[in-house]
Every structure is written in C-alpha cells, then in structure tokens.
Structure 1
C-alpha cells in the first residue's frame, strides 16, 4: 500500500487507487492512513465524523463506511498478481476498540518526509550546511499542496493537518537557514518575499528576510521589514518583537555584521509563531 497525505489524499493498493468519493468515508480513510499500522480508536473516528454530538447510529454507520472501504480495497487486491492471497480484512483490520490500516511495507510520504527532514536537521547540527540544504529541499519536495488538500477535515484531522504544516514550516525555515549559511542571500529574496507576506507575524522568517536583504546591500529595506513586522505584531497580537529580533535590528542600524547571537534561531519557540 502506498499512502500520500502531503497534498491531496492518495491511497493505492497494487497501484490501484482506493479513494471513496463521499466525504465521510474519505475522512475515515484519511485518519486511518495518517495512523497507518496503528489502531485508530472508534471514538476518535466518531468524533472526526460527527463532532461532539454523534447520532445514535454512529457506530453502525461507521461500520458501513469501513465495509465500503474494504470493497474498494478488495477490488484493488483482485487486480494483483496473486488475487485472493490477501483479503481486504487483512488490510483494513478490526482491532480491539478500533481499526488498523496495514501498510504492508509500502511507501508513505509522511514517513519519507520525516526521514529526510531528520537527516537535514542532523546535518545542520554537524554544520554540514550543503548537506542540510539538500536533504531538507528533498523533504519539502514531497509536498504537493496543503496536507489532505481534498478532504473536508473535522476536529481530529484538523489537529493532524496543523501538526504536519508546522513540521513543513520548521523544515522550510531550517532549509533557508542552511542556504543563508551558504551565502545564497540574493537567491532567497523572492522566496522570502512571498513567505513573509503569507506569515505576517512569523518572526524567524522575517529575521531571515532582513538578513538576506542586509547582506545583499539593501539595509534600508531590511529595516523596513522590521517595522512592518512590529506593526503587525502590535496590531494583531499585542506583542513587541522578540529581544533577538531587536538585537538584529540594532546591529543593522549600526551597520554592524550580524553574529549567531543576533540572527534569529529556529530553536526559540517564540520566533516560530505563525501568523
């Protein structure tokens, strides 16, 4: 089984798509796919489908959705080289208290993203910035849009999507940091222009944009980025920029050279606030 969630949902068995068109069975499949090879409790599935006030028939209806998914899986299994060796119930398993989608050793874009991003982070720690940029760029290349872009998410899936998007943003920040360490300041300007427009109160990205502008000989524009960020933080969140970002601004006002102590770091949780 091959599973994609970093963009539109995609689940394939023997290369055949297993994709219900109805919204609720699609939600069930998405939640099972996100937790592949792990038990997803019935209660969690019910909450995703109906929220805090499920109908009395919720569990029966959920069983119907599971049967529909097994029909799709069964049809895909029959197209395999050895039809009948594995049944749909072996793939979508009823477990104590819930259901398990068995991956069977197939691919998962989330697992591959985590593997590549982990290699990138370790390379950053080792100050192998070229390797970090390469691994993190490859990890980010697995994304083809927002996570579960074609699924109407409920409460449970929304939490999972937010978690995945935060992981993506962290990897993106680290990849840009690696590129900055490699002196690719001018090449980053276009990308960072778009990012700070999208994340108006994300201090770390604004700090990176300031640094890229400053080291490209555009100090006035770098300082203007700080002022726009400060206005957005005060207006939207009632906060002043972090001490680290203020130090970076002061260094630029004095036409000094930013050091690791004045450059925003992804290790500061405040600097990763998304707006």
Structure 2
C-alpha cells in the first residue's frame, strides 16, 4: 500500500520506506496532479503552473521530461507496477489515479463532508468527532515544502478554506454543546489568524460572556471594533453590537453563530 500525503509537506509512504526524490519543478508537477487526483490535467495547465503563463518554446518537451523523471522516481520508490498504475498519460494530459486510501486529501474531504451533513441534522457531538478527525490529518500548511505557481496556489487557497471550514464546524458544534470554555483557545487563535472574520469575533465574545468573563468579552468587542475600523473603515456588525448590548445589560450572550457566518 502506498499513501501520498499533501496536508503538510509532500510525502509518499511506500512499503520499502524509500524517500521520493524529486526536483522543484517535478515536485510542483506532482503537487498539482495530486490536488487534482483522478482528474486529467492538461499539458497547457501544467505549463501554466511551471512557468506562470510565460512558457518557453521548449515547454512541452520539458513537461514530458519532468513526467519521465517523475515516473522514474515513482518506480524507484514504490515499484514499476505501482508507478504505471497511478501515473497515467491520457490524451494531451496526465492523471494520478488513486484509490481513497492512497491520498490523505480524500479522507479529509470525506470527513468534512460528513461533518457538514451532521451539522444540518443537529448531531453536534458527531460533528465535533468528524471535524477533529479531519483536522488531525493536517501536518501543517498544504504542500508547505513547495513553492507553488499560480495554478497550484489557487488550489492551495481553496483547500485551506476547507480546512478553516472544518475548524468552524468544530467550534460551532462545541458551542452548541455548551463547551464555551473549552473552545476559547481555538477561538483566540482563529481571531488572530482571521482578524476580519466577524463571525469568529462574535463567537469569542459570546463564549467569554457565557464563561462568566464579561470584562474580557467587552475587551474582545473593543478589539474587534478597532480592527474593523482601522483596517476596513467599518463599524461592527449588528450581531457584534447586539452581543455588546447583551453583556452590558446583563441579558446574557447570544446564540452561537452558525457555520460560515461573518466575513
């Protein structure tokens, strides 16, 4: 059994324990084929990735050479039969043909999808379980050891959004379960990483308030207000103002925001 891992540095687990050795352009080519696993990636797209829209006249030949070297690396790492099975030439493009167990991205996407379905069914304890399983697969930023071109960078950004979505689901479901104190560290981290996301600010303020830390909740509101004003010239949303008013009047916090709320 082989297993490609892209949720962090690019790695290949193979029976022999060999390291997949590849140059930077071959690695970028492999990275793009893996984020598009089980889809044919055209040569034009590969050239766009490797040369950012300005390919040399030798680009087609060079792409074929990179694929040749990638095949050789796969053969040395996991055997000729496996290399022929997983790296296919299809028409004017190439395809990594993998079963679900051979790529960590497949498991991650499946778990996030399950968490979203469970959220809609109000099965919050199971949402937390699936989201935690999905997040446990991440070993760092996606393909963190590569310098992506513009095509691969777009896929990295999209999948990083899915990672953030999984964090949202875990926090939202935990708040629904009354785990306000338990999610405070993650909410503080999310507010730090996404300072313009009003939904995260609202959840942090609400969680602090419901944990009996009204002073800190008001400080969190002021921090959100100042950030939005300084960076965007905006006033806090109605939801944030409503939370502030509830704290000041002793009316308690508002219900946790639903997944995807905020900017």
> If the length of structure 2 is used for normalisation, what is the TM-score?
0.92
Contact 1:10–1:17 (8 Å) recurs in 2: no
Match of 1:222 among 206, 217, 221: 217
Q: Give the superposition deviation at 1:11.
A: 3.0
Give the structure 1 partner of residue 259 of structure 2.
Answer: 266
After superposition, the Cα gap between the structure-2 partners of 1:181 and 1:52, relative to the gap in structure 1 and judged at 3 Å, is: same
SS of corresponding position for 2:187: helix
1:172 is aligned to 2:167? yes
Q: Give the superposition deviation at 1:265.
A: 2.5
| Separation of aligned partners in 2, 1:220 and 1:191 | 19
1:91 is aligned to 2:86? yes
Match of 2:95 among 93, 97, 100: 100
| More divergent stretch after superposition (150-159 vs 112-121) | 112-121
Give CA-to-partner distance per residue, 1:21-65, whole Å, 9 cap, x none: 311100000011111111011111111111121111111111110
After superposition, the Cα gap between the structure-2 partners of 1:229 and 1:87, relative to the gap in structure 1 and judged at 3 Å, is: closer
Give CA-to-partner distance per residue, 1:192-237, whole Å, 9 cap, x none: 2232222222212111111111011111211211111121112112
> If the length of structure 1 is used for normalisation, what is the TM-score?
0.88
Contact 2:3–2:12 (8 Å) recurs in 1: yes
How many residues align structurally? Answer: 262
After superposition, the Cα gap between the structure-2 partners of 1:92 and 1:13, relative to the gap in structure 1 and judged at 3 Å, is: farther
Give CA-to-partner distance per residue, 1:219-275, whole Å, 9 cap, x none: 121121111112111211222222222222222222213344xx433243xx1x3xx
Give the structure 2 partner of residue 251 of structure 1.
Answer: 246
Moved over 6 A (4+): none
Q: Give the superposition deviation at 1:105.
A: 5.3
Q: Give the superposition deviation at 1:95.
A: 1.1
Contact 2:172–2:257 (8 Å) recurs in 1: no
Give the structure 2 partner of residue 81 of structure 1.
Answer: none
| Separation of aligned partners in 2, 1:254 and 1:22 | 62
Contact 1:37–1:101 (8 Å) recurs in 2: yes
Contact 1:36–1:100 (8 Å) recurs in 2: yes
SS of corresponding position for 1:100: strand
Q: Give the superposition deviation at 1:87.
A: 6.4
Runs of 5+ unmatched residues, structure 1: 79-83
Contact 2:124–2:174 (8 Å) recurs in 1: yes
SS of corresponding position for 1:150: coil
Contact 1:19–1:26 (8 Å) recurs in 2: no
Give the structure 2 partner of residue 35 of structure 1.
Answer: 36
| More divergent stretch after superposition (96-105 vs 9-18) | 9-18
Runs of 5+ unmatched residues, structure 2: none
| Separation of aligned partners in 2, 1:214 and 1:198 | 22
